[in-house]
Amino acid sequence: MARTPDEWLPILAKRLDERRPRVDVLRSYANGNAPLPEMGRNVRASWSQWQKKARANLGGLAVEAPANRMVPNGVQVGQANQDDDRVRGIWRRNRLDVAIPDVIRDALATSIGYIVVGRDAFGRAVITAEQPEYMYAATDPLQPWVSRAAIKVWRDIDEGYDYAFVWIPGQRQKFARPAKDEKTLRPWDRAQDGNWFPVAEPETFTGPIPVFALENHGGTGEFEEHTDLIDRINTGILQRLSTVAMQAFRQRATKGGLQTTDADGNPIDYAAVFEPAPGALWDLPEGIDIWESQDSSQGIRAMLESVKDDLREFSGTLSVPLGPMLQDAANQSAEGAAYNKEGLIFKVRDRIARFTPPLEAALETALRIEYPEVTESVTLRWMPPEHVSLQEKYAAAVQAKAADVPWRTRMTSILGFSDETVDRMEVEVAAEQLQLAMLFQQQQPPAENPGVVNVGGN
């Protein structure tokens, strides 16, 4: 087994290169650049451009549907019942409202995402989301979010070098090599190609390797097992578009035999006589009829319906809402919509359970970098995946109030306000109650003086 960064470098680089083609394909499905339907080796550029119009970004939809319901909602340290100010500072400074959704989308799209903790020049914790195209971690089989060794590679086109970080327990070593092409933005050609040399002495650190992996269910992307279905839908769309386009070039002909010359014996230019134009009126001789190739609109409708059926299969298989895909999804039965949403909620709960341990480990590592005295564990809270829209949240809050759920719990766990916001809301609520009490006192009539006796009759 490898022991040093130099020994781990070729092993990790080889694994990164071997995984890269699969990650590139999955990424293409998720960012709207899925393989072109019916793509051949020698197609013309114009046909390639036409094929691009037939691609639907279904992979991206399969990623966004669960990702949009995975919303972090606070971090607790130890037994505290609300956010810790120290963690709030780390969260805001590292823009984790952006970084955590990014790493979640990487894991959903490509099956793996990485979050890395380091230090800046001032000794503060730095947390970054790293793309799996440029990073690989050898993880513990029993704890797949814990790294045994890891590598990150990138290209600096200004310096003309490729760089690599290699982590092993207690050490991080930086390597470099000359870049083969300083003009390209590709991070490297092949990570395992040699010529790497150490840049400086290894850096040392305490604690676990600060590279944490988010692995998706089954080690696959959300749509990886259904790329054939996506390809089938894109092919159906291409066939429909091609058929519709051909309707603009339907063949026409005259029946009955037109004269080839006029009364003076000059040839007749029928291309000019029958010039197609809006509002054109043709004077056809008696007995002449126009024939037109068959209208295939019925076939177009059939192809359109088949694409809709494929989209419904895609929606049911991956628990993706139909609304973004089909405009007539409003006509879907309430039972069918509820079943679809229920499947999505179960999926999101599973992904939250899988992604929480590495994210909590990263936050603990960052907290102990800045506050070494902290020994408590960190708990990452999430908004309930059932309640994402405002309508869902406030309907659930009303029901929770009827069930005597405490006010602060309703604000954080159901309505999704951060503990920092709820703290401010508590102050505002107390101020409003004080103002109402003062206003109530001002509106009360003055009390009668019991020492004054009315002796004047009326």
Kindly report, residue by residue over 134-143, the tens digit of the pLDDT.
999 999 998 8
Q: Kindly tell me if the per-residue pLDDT of 249 is higher than 60.
A: no
The pLDDT of residue 371 = 92
Q: What is the average pLDDT across 250-274?
A: 77
Model-wide pTM > 0.85 = no
The pLDDT of residue 279 = 63
The pLDDT of residue 447 = 61
**Torsion, CA 252, CA 257, CA 258, CA 263, rounded to 10:** 180
Find the range with the poorest average confidence among 180-189, 226-235, 251-260: 180-189
The pLDDT of residue 400 = 87
pLDDT tier at 397 (50, 70, 90 boundaries)?
Answer: confident
The pLDDT of residue 53 = 79
What's the whole-number average pLDDT of the chain? 83
pLDDT over 90, % of the chain: 37
Query: CA distances (Å), 230 to each of 49, 59, 314, in order?
Result: 19, 8, 8
Q: Kindly tell me if the per-residue pLDDT of 239 is higher than 90.
A: no
Reduce the DSSP state of residue 447 to 3 states and report it.
coil
The pLDDT of residue 305 = 78
Domain residue extents for the chain = 1-250+297-386, 252-292, 390-444
Highest mean pLDDT among 68-82, 109-123, 261-275: 109-123
| Rounded distance between C-alpha atoms, residue 118 and residue 211, angstroms | 9
CB atoms under 10 Å from CB of 388, counted, come to 17
Q: What is the average pLDDT across 60-78?
A: 90
Under 8 Å between Cβ of 104 and 110: no
Under 8 Å between Cβ of 29 and 229: no
Q: Map tokens 């009364």 to a residue.
A: 263
pLDDT tier at 82 (50, 70, 90 boundaries)?
Answer: low
Q: What is the average pLDDT across 309-329?
A: 74
E runs forming strands in 187-345: 197-198, 203-204, 211-215, 252-255, 289-292
**Torsion, CA 274, CA 275, CA 281, CA 287, rounded to 10:** 10
Q: Kindly tell me if the per-residue pLDDT of 454 is higher than 70.
A: no
What tokens were used for 413? Answer: 């766990």
The pLDDT of residue 132 = 95
Q: Kindly tell me if the per-residue pLDDT of 458 is higher than 60.
A: no
- 2/106: higher pLDDT: 106
| Rounded distance between C-alpha atoms, residue 429 and residue 402, angstroms | 20
Kindly report, residue by residue over 155-208, the tens digit of the pLDDT.
888 888 899 999 999 999 999 998 876 655 455 568 887 789 999 899 999 889
The pLDDT of residue 112 = 96
Number of Cα atoms under 13 Å in the Cβ half of residue 20: 18
Find the range with the poorest average confidence among 9-23, 90-104, 309-323: 309-323
Q: Beta strand pairing status for 252-255 and 378-382? A: unpaired
| Rounded distance between C-alpha atoms, residue 458 and residue 454, angstroms | 9
Q: What is the average pLDDT across 81-95?
A: 83
Kindly report, residue by residue over 328-340, the tens digit of the pLDDT.
554 455 555 566 6
| Rounded distance between C-alpha atoms, residue 451 and residue 453, angstroms | 7
